[in-house]
Amino acid sequence: MTVVILIGMAVTVFLTSLLSGIFGMAGGLILLWVLLFLFPVGTAIAIHGVIQMVSNGSRAWFSRAYIDYRILGILGLGLLISSIVLLIVDYQPDIIVVSIAIGLMPILVWLPVSKLQLDASRPHHALVCGLIAGALTVGVGVSGPTIDIFFIRTQMDRRKVIATKAAVQVASHATKVAFYWNAASALPPADWISILLAAPIAILGARAGNGILQKMTDANFRAWTRWIVTGVGAVYFTQGVLRLI
Protein backbone atom coordinates (compact mmCIF):
# COMPACT_ATOMS: atom_id res chain seq x y z
CA MET A 1 0.00 0.00 0.00
CA THR A 2 1.12 3.56 -0.63
CA VAL A 3 1.54 6.07 2.18
CA VAL A 4 -1.63 7.87 1.02
CA ILE A 5 -3.68 4.68 1.22
CA LEU A 6 -2.16 3.86 4.63
CA ILE A 7 -3.13 7.27 5.99
CA GLY A 8 -6.57 6.95 4.41
CA MET A 9 -7.01 3.53 6.02
CA ALA A 10 -6.02 4.88 9.43
CA VAL A 11 -8.48 7.78 9.19
CA THR A 12 -11.24 5.46 7.94
CA VAL A 13 -10.64 3.01 10.78
CA PHE A 14 -10.78 5.78 13.39
CA LEU A 15 -13.98 7.36 12.04
CA THR A 16 -15.79 4.07 11.49
CA SER A 17 -14.77 2.84 14.95
CA LEU A 18 -16.07 6.12 16.36
CA LEU A 19 -19.44 5.45 14.72
CA SER A 20 -19.46 1.87 15.95
CA GLY A 21 -18.62 3.04 19.44
CA ILE A 22 -21.74 5.20 19.39
CA PHE A 23 -24.22 3.14 17.40
CA GLY A 24 -22.78 -0.36 17.58
CA MET A 25 -22.66 -1.28 13.88
CA ALA A 26 -22.78 1.58 11.32
CA GLY A 27 -19.00 1.99 11.28
CA GLY A 28 -18.42 -1.63 10.37
CA LEU A 29 -20.66 -1.34 7.32
CA ILE A 30 -18.72 1.67 6.05
CA LEU A 31 -15.34 0.08 6.72
CA LEU A 32 -16.24 -3.04 4.73
CA TRP A 33 -17.45 -0.84 1.85
CA VAL A 34 -14.01 0.80 1.68
CA LEU A 35 -12.16 -2.53 1.91
CA LEU A 36 -14.19 -4.00 -0.96
CA PHE A 37 -12.66 -1.34 -3.21
CA LEU A 38 -9.15 -2.40 -2.23
CA PHE A 39 -9.25 -6.20 -1.99
CA PRO A 40 -11.04 -9.30 -3.35
CA VAL A 41 -14.27 -10.10 -1.49
CA GLY A 42 -13.02 -12.92 0.73
CA THR A 43 -9.85 -11.04 1.62
CA ALA A 44 -11.79 -7.83 2.36
CA ILE A 45 -14.15 -9.72 4.69
CA ALA A 46 -11.21 -11.28 6.54
CA ILE A 47 -9.39 -7.94 6.93
CA HIS A 48 -12.65 -6.35 8.07
CA GLY A 49 -12.88 -9.09 10.68
CA VAL A 50 -9.37 -8.46 12.01
CA ILE A 51 -9.91 -4.70 12.38
CA GLN A 52 -13.42 -5.06 13.77
CA MET A 53 -12.26 -7.62 16.32
CA VAL A 54 -9.97 -4.94 17.72
CA SER A 55 -12.66 -2.25 17.54
CA ASN A 56 -15.43 -4.38 19.03
CA GLY A 57 -13.06 -6.00 21.50
CA SER A 58 -12.00 -2.64 22.89
CA ARG A 59 -15.63 -1.48 23.02
CA ALA A 60 -16.61 -4.65 24.85
CA TRP A 61 -13.73 -4.15 27.26
CA PHE A 62 -14.64 -0.53 28.00
CA SER A 63 -18.21 -1.64 28.74
CA ARG A 64 -17.39 -5.10 30.15
CA ALA A 65 -19.40 -4.51 33.32
CA TYR A 66 -22.58 -4.45 31.19
CA ILE A 67 -22.02 -7.63 29.10
CA ASP A 68 -24.69 -10.31 29.43
CA TYR A 69 -22.62 -13.50 29.19
CA ARG A 70 -25.65 -15.79 29.08
CA ILE A 71 -26.85 -14.15 25.86
CA LEU A 72 -23.28 -14.15 24.52
CA GLY A 73 -22.91 -17.91 25.04
CA ILE A 74 -26.18 -18.83 23.32
CA LEU A 75 -25.54 -16.52 20.37
CA GLY A 76 -22.03 -17.94 20.06
CA LEU A 77 -23.46 -21.44 19.68
CA GLY A 78 -25.64 -20.24 16.80
CA LEU A 79 -22.65 -18.58 15.13
CA LEU A 80 -20.66 -21.79 15.32
CA ILE A 81 -23.43 -23.94 13.83
CA SER A 82 -23.96 -21.62 10.84
CA SER A 83 -20.26 -21.30 10.06
CA ILE A 84 -19.82 -25.09 10.09
CA VAL A 85 -22.72 -25.50 7.63
CA LEU A 86 -21.22 -22.91 5.23
CA LEU A 87 -17.83 -24.58 5.52
CA ILE A 88 -19.35 -27.94 4.59
CA VAL A 89 -21.05 -26.54 1.47
CA ASP A 90 -17.82 -24.71 0.50
CA TYR A 91 -19.45 -21.27 0.28
CA GLN A 92 -17.68 -18.66 -1.88
CA PRO A 93 -18.64 -14.92 -1.65
CA ASP A 94 -19.62 -12.78 -4.64
CA ILE A 95 -19.35 -8.96 -4.71
CA ILE A 96 -22.81 -8.47 -6.25
CA VAL A 97 -24.51 -10.77 -3.75
CA VAL A 98 -22.62 -9.14 -0.88
CA SER A 99 -23.53 -5.58 -1.97
CA ILE A 100 -27.23 -6.26 -2.55
CA ALA A 101 -27.61 -8.37 0.61
CA ILE A 102 -26.02 -5.68 2.78
CA GLY A 103 -28.05 -3.04 0.97
CA LEU A 104 -31.26 -4.83 1.93
CA MET A 105 -30.29 -5.33 5.58
CA PRO A 106 -31.50 -1.89 6.78
CA ILE A 107 -35.06 -3.04 6.04
CA LEU A 108 -34.68 -5.13 9.18
CA VAL A 109 -34.29 -2.12 11.49
CA TRP A 110 -37.63 -0.72 10.24
CA LEU A 111 -39.61 -3.90 10.85
CA PRO A 112 -42.33 -3.67 13.52
CA VAL A 113 -40.19 -5.77 15.82
CA SER A 114 -42.45 -4.97 18.76
CA LYS A 115 -45.07 -7.14 17.05
CA LEU A 116 -42.55 -9.86 16.28
CA GLN A 117 -41.59 -9.86 19.95
CA LEU A 118 -37.92 -10.58 19.17
CA ASP A 119 -35.85 -10.48 22.33
CA ALA A 120 -32.22 -11.58 22.64
CA SER A 121 -32.71 -12.12 26.35
CA ARG A 122 -34.90 -15.16 25.53
CA PRO A 123 -32.67 -18.23 25.00
CA HIS A 124 -34.43 -19.56 21.88
CA HIS A 125 -34.47 -16.08 20.32
CA ALA A 126 -30.76 -15.67 21.07
CA LEU A 127 -30.03 -19.00 19.34
CA VAL A 128 -32.00 -18.00 16.23
CA CYS A 129 -30.18 -14.65 16.22
CA GLY A 130 -26.85 -16.47 16.37
CA LEU A 131 -27.78 -18.79 13.50
CA ILE A 132 -28.84 -15.89 11.25
CA ALA A 133 -25.91 -13.70 12.27
CA GLY A 134 -23.45 -16.52 11.61
CA ALA A 135 -24.82 -17.12 8.12
CA LEU A 136 -24.66 -13.41 7.28
CA THR A 137 -21.30 -12.58 8.82
CA VAL A 138 -19.62 -15.38 6.86
CA GLY A 139 -21.83 -15.03 3.79
CA VAL A 140 -21.66 -11.25 3.26
CA GLY A 141 -19.28 -9.98 5.93
CA VAL A 142 -21.66 -8.17 8.31
CA SER A 143 -24.59 -9.05 10.52
CA GLY A 144 -25.03 -5.97 12.72
CA PRO A 145 -28.52 -4.93 11.51
CA THR A 146 -29.77 -8.49 12.02
CA ILE A 147 -28.39 -8.67 15.54
CA ASP A 148 -29.85 -5.25 16.25
CA ILE A 149 -33.48 -6.29 15.74
CA PHE A 150 -33.08 -8.86 18.51
CA PHE A 151 -31.78 -6.21 20.91
CA ILE A 152 -33.55 -2.99 20.03
CA ARG A 153 -36.82 -3.90 21.79
CA THR A 154 -35.33 -5.61 24.83
CA GLN A 155 -35.61 -4.08 28.29
CA MET A 156 -31.82 -3.72 28.41
CA ASP A 157 -30.50 -0.14 28.57
CA ARG A 158 -28.29 1.24 25.80
CA ARG A 159 -25.03 0.48 27.63
CA LYS A 160 -25.90 -3.18 28.11
CA VAL A 161 -27.08 -3.41 24.49
CA ILE A 162 -23.82 -1.94 23.16
CA ALA A 163 -21.61 -4.03 25.47
CA THR A 164 -23.32 -7.35 24.74
CA LYS A 165 -23.54 -6.69 20.99
CA ALA A 166 -19.85 -5.76 20.94
CA ALA A 167 -18.93 -9.04 22.61
CA VAL A 168 -21.14 -10.96 20.16
CA GLN A 169 -19.49 -9.14 17.26
CA VAL A 170 -16.02 -10.12 18.51
CA ALA A 171 -17.08 -13.76 18.25
CA SER A 172 -18.74 -13.09 14.89
CA HIS A 173 -15.69 -11.40 13.37
CA ALA A 174 -13.37 -14.11 14.71
CA THR A 175 -15.55 -16.67 12.93
CA LYS A 176 -15.23 -14.99 9.53
CA VAL A 177 -11.48 -14.42 9.95
CA ALA A 178 -11.07 -18.17 10.50
CA PHE A 179 -13.38 -18.95 7.56
CA TYR A 180 -11.45 -16.73 5.12
CA TRP A 181 -8.00 -17.19 6.60
CA ASN A 182 -6.55 -18.75 3.45
CA ALA A 183 -7.48 -15.66 1.43
CA ALA A 184 -6.10 -13.30 4.06
CA SER A 185 -2.83 -15.22 4.48
CA ALA A 186 -2.04 -14.62 0.79
CA LEU A 187 -1.70 -10.86 1.37
CA PRO A 188 1.81 -9.42 0.91
CA PRO A 189 3.65 -8.30 4.08
CA ALA A 190 3.20 -4.60 3.23
CA ASP A 191 -0.59 -4.95 3.35
CA TRP A 192 -0.45 -6.77 6.67
CA ILE A 193 1.74 -4.03 8.09
CA SER A 194 -0.88 -1.47 7.07
CA ILE A 195 -3.65 -3.53 8.67
CA LEU A 196 -1.69 -4.04 11.90
CA LEU A 197 -0.91 -0.31 12.07
CA ALA A 198 -4.55 0.63 11.45
CA ALA A 199 -6.11 -1.88 13.86
CA PRO A 200 -5.00 -0.19 17.13
CA ILE A 201 -6.45 3.09 15.88
CA ALA A 202 -9.83 1.37 16.14
CA ILE A 203 -9.38 1.40 19.90
CA LEU A 204 -9.06 5.19 19.92
CA GLY A 205 -12.21 5.54 17.83
CA ALA A 206 -14.13 3.08 19.99
CA ARG A 207 -13.07 4.90 23.16
CA ALA A 208 -14.15 8.27 21.77
CA GLY A 209 -17.45 6.81 20.60
CA ASN A 210 -18.09 5.25 24.00
CA GLY A 211 -17.78 8.67 25.61
CA ILE A 212 -20.39 10.12 23.24
CA LEU A 213 -22.69 7.12 23.82
CA GLN A 214 -22.80 7.81 27.55
CA LYS A 215 -24.23 11.27 26.85
CA MET A 216 -27.00 10.08 24.50
CA THR A 217 -30.55 9.19 25.48
CA ASP A 218 -31.97 5.77 24.61
CA ALA A 219 -34.49 7.41 22.24
CA ASN A 220 -31.83 9.32 20.28
CA PHE A 221 -29.61 6.24 20.16
CA ARG A 222 -32.30 4.11 18.49
CA ALA A 223 -33.49 6.82 16.10
CA TRP A 224 -30.03 7.76 14.81
CA THR A 225 -29.02 4.10 14.46
CA ARG A 226 -31.91 3.42 12.07
CA TRP A 227 -31.30 6.39 9.80
CA ILE A 228 -27.53 5.99 9.56
CA VAL A 229 -27.74 2.27 8.77
CA THR A 230 -30.45 2.94 6.19
CA GLY A 231 -28.28 5.51 4.41
CA VAL A 232 -25.27 3.19 4.28
CA GLY A 233 -27.47 0.34 3.05
CA ALA A 234 -28.78 2.48 0.21
CA VAL A 235 -25.23 3.02 -1.03
CA TYR A 236 -24.49 -0.71 -0.94
CA PHE A 237 -27.71 -1.61 -2.74
CA THR A 238 -27.17 0.97 -5.48
CA GLN A 239 -23.62 -0.28 -6.02
CA GLY A 240 -24.81 -3.88 -6.28
CA VAL A 241 -27.56 -3.08 -8.76
CA LEU A 242 -25.18 -1.02 -10.93
CA ARG A 243 -22.83 -4.02 -11.13
CA LEU A 244 -25.71 -6.06 -12.55
CA ILE A 245 -26.31 -3.60 -15.39
Question: So where are the chain's domains?
Answer: 3-244
Rounded to whole angstroms, how far apart are CA atoms 45 and 134? 13
| pLDDT (0 to 100) of residue 220 | 67
pTM beyond cutoff 0.85: no
Rounded to whole angstroms, how far apart are CA atoms 124 and 65? 24
Report helix angle 189-213 to 41-62, nearest 10: 40
For the chain, the farthest-separated pair of C-alpha atoms sits apart, in whole angstroms, at 51
| pLDDT (0 to 100) of residue 113 | 59
Question: Which stretches does DSSP call E strand in the chain?
Answer: none
Tens digit of pLDDT per residue, the chain (245 long)?
567 667 777 788 888 777 766 765 677 788 888 888 888 898 889 888 888 887 778 778 888 889 999 999 999 999 999 999 999 999 998 899 889 988 887 777 676 656 667 888 888 999 999 999 999 999 999 887 778 778 877 777 778 887 888 899 899 989 999 999 888 777 777 777 777 777 778 777 777 776 777 777 766 666 677 777 788 888 888 988 888 87
User: Which residues are within 8 A (CB) of 233 and not within 5 positions of it... i.e. 6 or more apart?
Assistant: 29, 102, 103, 104, 105, 106, 107, 145
Burial class, 187, CB count within 10 angstroms (exposed 0-12 / middle 13-18 / buried 19+): middle
Q: Are 178 and 42 in contact (CB under 8 A)?
A: no
| pLDDT (0 to 100) of residue 25 | 61
Instruction: Quote the DSSP letter at residue 109.
Output: G
